[in-house]
Structure 1
Amino acid sequence: MPSLVVTVIGPDRPGLVGAVSDVVRQHGGNWLESRMSHLAGQFAGIILLDVADADVAAMADGLQNLKAHGLKVVTEVDSSARPASNSAPIWQLSVVGNDRPGIVREVTQVLVAHNVNVEELTTECSDAPHSGGPIFRATVRIRLPAELDTGVLQTELENLASDLMIDFSSAAAAGDTAGA
């Protein structure tokens, strides 16, 4: 059974998730995973669906009809066999510091240099309680190659900038076993 990866974006309003789920149900899809968020007045989401081979085209067409609800939709079919389990360790990376351009790029450059895969990235900026200046926060779930020396990775991440606090820990140690 192929998987369908769907991204949706449009002006936020009540009922958008319901409209998407109606299409999935109408075409016999199984909603497996999703990440959805309200960002700057927009609704943005990514969804992983299982769809029978015979229903993929109808599902994709049905999702395109969500334009009537103001949504832009992109669908990608993934017919590759999903691995049963990936035993590579999952780690959690937290980054906090005064907001400035380039933080995500700096962190991801270190990760790429060590062949680390980003499984999930969440970022936000908020005002600091006392100074009122913007504080950047990122939480990153990463999958490490088995041969990686975590001490080297941690040192390189901590050396990025003196104004960033970096916490690097095993997701299993933190009680997070999702995806592991």
Structure 2
Amino acid sequence: MASLVVSLAGPDRPGLVNTLSEKIIAGGGSWLESRLAHLAGTFAGIILVRVADEGADALATALSSLSDEGLAVNVLTGSDAPAPAEQVTLELLGNDRPGIVREVTQTLRGLGVNIEEFSSRIESAPFTGEDMFRAVARLGLPRGLSAHDVSHALEKLTAEFMVDIKQPEEA
């Protein structure tokens, strides 16, 4: 079996997810996982599809044909990556400011941490209404690095961050 990672972006419209699912099933694929969102009038997402090896190229071509409908589509063949030494979930909350994602990701990169999943949003603080940055990430830690080390490094960025790192059984 082959794993295809499909990324896409384009104008949002009713029935778009159904169109994707019909292409996948018609090509003999199985929709395993996805992250899809409407962002600023644009529909964007990633989908993990499993398909028989002999059908992978045809399904990739069929999905790529959605570019005729205004979608930017990219299909990659997935691989089995080695598992990290430890996985943790990071929850971060702090006052929003320009460069916050860069600072956090730069710190994680410096520690050798792999960001396996990342989501963020801006929300209003209770009572004050100030913009607050909230992020949740699944991190793969390299051997020899503890969750405490990651938390400590992120807390050094600013005293305004609340950092919570959970082990898989706590998440």
Shared fold (TM-score greater than 0.5)? yes
Distance in structure 2 (CA, Å) of the matches to 1:28 and 1:99: 45
Q: RMSD in angstroms over aligned alpha carbons? A: 1.8
- Name the SS for the 2:58 alignment partner: helix
Tell me the SS of whatever aligns to 2:19. helix
Asked if structure 2 preserves the Cα contact closer than 8 Å seen for 1:91 and 1:172, the reply is no
Contact preservation (8 Å) 2:84, 2:140: no
Question: In 2, distance between residues paired with 1:171 and 1:117?
Answer: 16
Per-residue deviation at 1:132? 2.4
Instruction: Quote the residue 1:136 is aligned against.
Output: 133
1:113 aligns with 2:105: no
| 2:69 corresponds to 1:72 | no
Q: Counterpart of 1:173 in 2: which secondary structure?
A: coil
CA drift at 1:130: 2.5
Secondary structure in structure 2 of the residue aligned to 1:161:
coil
Listed one character per residue, the Cα deviations across residues 86-108 of structure 1 (whole Å, up to 9, x for unaligned) are 36322111111111111111111
Measure how far apart 1:118 and its partner are.
Answer: 0.9
Cα drift, residue 166 of structure 1: 1.3
1:152 alignment partner, SS class: helix
Secondary structure at the aligned position of 1:156 is classed as: helix
Cα distance in 2 for residues equivalent to 1:112 and 1:13: 37
Distance 1:67 1:158 in 2: 43
Task: Give 4+ residue runs of structure 1 displaced > 3 Å after superposition.
Answer: none
Q: CA deviation at 1:145?
A: 1.8
Q: Distance in 1 between matches of 2:144 and 2:3?
A: 31
Report Cα offsets for 1:44-83 as digits up to 9, x if no partner: 11011112222222212211222344321111123x4x26
Identity %: 46
Query: Which amino acid in structure 2 is aligned with residue 105 of structure 1?
Result: R
| TM-score w.r.t. length of structure 1 | 0.86
Distance 2:149 2:67 in 1: 48
TM-score, structure 2 normalization: 0.90
Tell me, yes or no, if the aligned pair for 1:90 and 1:172 is still in contact at 8 Å. no
* Residue aligning to 1:172: 169
Alignment partner, residue 43 of structure 1 = 43
Number of residue-to-residue matches in the alignment: 171
Whether 1:157 and 2:154 are equivalent positions in the alignment is yes
Amino acid at match of 2:108: L
User: What secondary structure sits across from 1:138 in the alignment?
Assistant: strand
- Provide the C-alpha distance between the structure 2 equivalents of 1:48 and 1:42, rounded to a whole number of angstroms: 20
Is residue 146 from structure 1 mapped to residue 139 from structure 2 by the alignment?
no
Q: Paired residue for 2:94?
A: 97
Unaligned 5+ segments in structure 1 are: 175-180
